[in-house]
Chains A and B, each alone.
Chain A
Amino acid sequence: MALPVIEILGLTKDFPTGFWRKRMRRSLDGLTLAVEEGEIFGFLGPNGAGKTTTLKLLMGLIFPTAGTAHILGRSIDDTQMHREIGYLPEQPYFYDYLTARELLDYYARFFGYGAAERRQRVARMLERVGLADAGGVQLRKFSKGMLQRVGIAQAILHDPRVIFLDEPMSGLDPIGRREVRDIILGLKRQGRTVFFSTHILSDAEMICDRVGVLHLGKLRGVGAPGEILSMESHGMEILFEMRAGRALPADLLPRAAQTGQRYRIEVPEAELYGVLEQLRDCEARILSLAPVRPSLEDYFLRLVESPAATPAVEEPVR
C-alpha cells in the first residue's frame, strides 16, 4: 500500500496562558492520524477543538511541543515540500491594497512561473472560483465570501497535490458552500488529497471519504462518515395511525409520541418485530418504517456532552 500522504504522529501543542504566571495549556494532545492519497478528509470539531492549531502546525506557522508530521514523506520543517501543498487559512485576509489578480500573481511568483504562465494561471483560477469579473478590484472592497474564494484560488494556484483548507465554507451562503464543495470534489477527481476542517457537519457528511472528530485537542474518532454513524446504536422509527375506538397497548403508550391520530415510536432494532406484531394485533395502520440515522450532529453533541469532556471549553485567548 502507498505511503500515507499526510502522516501525523503524536502531534502536541501547548500554548502559554496567563500574563504573569506562565502556565501552559494543551490545545492539541497527541494527535496521530494518516490520510491517504486522493482522499477527502474532513477534520471535524467544535470551535476551540484545535483544528486551526493542527493546520498551523502542519504549515510550519507554529512549532509543535511534541510529535512530528510528514506530508508527502517530507518533514513539515522542509519548506521545499510547500511546492506540493496549498493552504487556505481560517478567515483569510490578504494584502488589501492589491487587486485579486495582483495578489494571485504575487503568490505565483514563489513557484518560479514566467509572466505568461502566471497570467494564464491567475485567469484560470479566478474563473474557477467565480471571480473572473472581480479580478481588477482591490481586495479591500471584497466581501467575506469573495475573500474566501480568493483564498481558495491562492491555495490551488500551483496545482498542489495536497490541499489544506481551514473552514473553507465559513462565511459563505448556501450557493457558495455548494460551489466550494464542487471545487473540493473536482480536486478529488484530479487525484488530489484534500484535508479540510469544519465545525459544520453536514458539509463534511456530504463529501468526505473519511472524517476525524477532534474535541478539546484530542482525536475522538476516525472513519468513513458511515462508520462513525454505525458506532451509534441504530433504531427504527415507526409511524402509524390508530383506528377510531382502538387503543394502543399499554406498554407502548409511554414510548409513543402522538400528533392527532398519528403516533411515532422509536424502537431498537432487536424489538422491531415484537412491536410490529403488537401493532398488527391492534389493527394499527403502518404509515412508514425508517431507520433512525443519527447525523454527525448527534454524534457530535453526544461527544461534547459526554462525561469525558467535562472540563469545559475555555474561552479562546485573544
Chain B
Amino acid sequence: MSGMSGAVALNTFREAVRDRVLYNLILFALLMIGAAVLVGQISIGIERLVIINLGLSAISVFGLVMAIFIGVGLVYKEIEKRTLYSLLARPVRRWEFLVGKYVGLLLTLVVNILLMSVGLAAALFAVGRPLLRSDLSILTAIYFIVLELALVIAVAIFFSCFSTPMLSALFTLAIYIAGVFAWEIRDFGALVHSPAVHLAVRVVYYTLPNFHNFNIIAAVGHAERVPFSLIWQNTLYALLYVTLLLLASATVFSRSNLK
C-alpha cells in the first residue's frame, strides 16, 4: 500500500470515530451484560454456549451492518459532497484513494471487533468460567468474521462505484445472503436435470463469495476444533476475492466522471 492510501485510510478511520460509529459498542456492552446476568440466573451449565453464541453472532451482525452501511457511502459521500475534488487534484491516483478508503473502513471494523471481543471475554469471565485451551477457537471465529467483513466491504465498494448507496446496500445484502446459502444453491442445482441449469448454477456458485466456510460460531460453541487448513484456505480465499473486487472497482472508478 502506498503512503497515499495510508493517509486516506487514517482519515477514513478518523471520520468514523468522529462520526461516533463506535457508539455501537455501548449497545454491544449492554447486550453482553444483559446476557451474563440472565445466564447467571438460569445457570444450568450452558452459560458458555449461550454467551459464545450470542457474543459471536452479535459481533458478526454489528460488523455486517457497519460494513454495508458505511461501505456503500465511502466513495459516494466524497463525490456527492465534492470533498474528493480537492483530494484528487493532489498526486493521488484514484485506485490509491479507493484502496485507502477500503483499508480505512477495515481498520475501523477491526478496532471495533477487537473492542467487542474484549467485551465478550469479560462476559465469559463474568459468568465465572476459567479460560480453556479450546477458547482459542473463539479467536479463530473472530478472525473469520473479520475476513468475511473484509469481503463484504469490497462488495459494497464495488457496487457503490456505479450505483446509489441505497441500491448498493440492497445489492450487497443480497450478495451476502446468497453467499451464505451458496452451498444450498449448488445442491439445488444438482436436483434439476438440465445441463443448462447445471452450468448456470455452477457459474453462480463460483462467482458468489462463499461465506459458508467463514461461519464457525456453532462449532466453536461446542468446543470443536477448527482444522488449520480452513484458516489458511479462508485467508487465501478472502485475499483473492478482495483483490479481484478492488481491481474491478478501481477499473470502473478510474474512468468515471465525477459529477
B7 touches A82 (CB 8 A): no
A56-B258, A62-B258, A97-B15 in contact; A111/B85 too (CB < 8 A)?
A: no
Question: In angstroms, how far is the closest chain B Cβ from the Cβ of A13?
Answer: 9
B interface, over-half SS: helix
A59 on the B face (CB < 8 A): yes
Which of B18, B85, B87, B92 has most A Cβ within 10 Å?
B85
A79-B93, A93-B82, A95-B15 in contact; A59/B7 too (CB < 8 A)?
A: no
Please name all residues of chain A whose beta carbon is closer than 8 Å to the beta carbon of B255 when the two chains form the complex: 63
Chain A residues numbered 15-40 whose CB sits less than 8 Å from any CB in chain B:
none
B86 touches A151 (CB 8 A): yes
B91 touches A79 (CB 8 A): yes
Q: How large, as a class, is the contact surface on chain B?
A: 20 to 34
Please name all residues of chain A whose beta carbon is closer than 8 Å to the beta carbon of B85 when the two chains form the complex: 56, 59, 61, 87, 89, 92
A239 on the B face (CB < 8 A): no
B173 on the A face (CB < 8 A): no
Chain A residues numbered 42-78 whose CB sits less than 8 Å from any CB in chain B:
56, 59-63
Closest B residue, CB atoms, query A138: B18
Question: In angstroms, how far is the closest chain B Cβ from the Cβ of A277?
Answer: 62
A126 on the B face (CB < 8 A): no
Q: How large, as a class, is the contact surface on chain A?
A: 20 to 34
Question: Complex formed: what's the CA distance from A59 to B92 in Å?
Answer: 12
A62-B258, A95-B11 in contact; A85/B89 too (CB < 8 A)?
A: yes
Closest B residue, CB atoms, query A150: B86
Question: In angstroms, how far is the closest chain B Cβ from the Cβ of A166?
Answer: 9
Please name all residues of chain B whose beta carbon is closer than 8 Å to the beta carbon of A62 when the two chains form the complex: 257-258
Chain B residues numbered 49-97 whose CB sits less than 8 Å from any CB in chain A:
81-93
B88 touches A110 (CB 8 A): no
Q: Mark B189-218, 1 if CB is under 8 A from A, else 0.
A: 000000000000000000000000000000
A97-B15, A112-B3 in contact; A92/B86 too (CB < 8 A)?
A: yes
Which residues of chain A have a CB within 8 Å of any CB of chain B?
A: 56, 59-63, 79-83, 85-89, 91-95, 97-98, 106-107, 109-112, 151, 154-155, 318
20 contacts between A and B (CB under 8 A): A59-B88, A59-B89, A61-B84, A62-B257, A79-B93, A80-B91, A82-B90, A82-B91, A82-B92, A87-B85, A89-B82, A89-B86, A93-B82, A93-B83, A95-B11, A95-B15, A107-B87, A110-B4, A110-B92, A318-B259
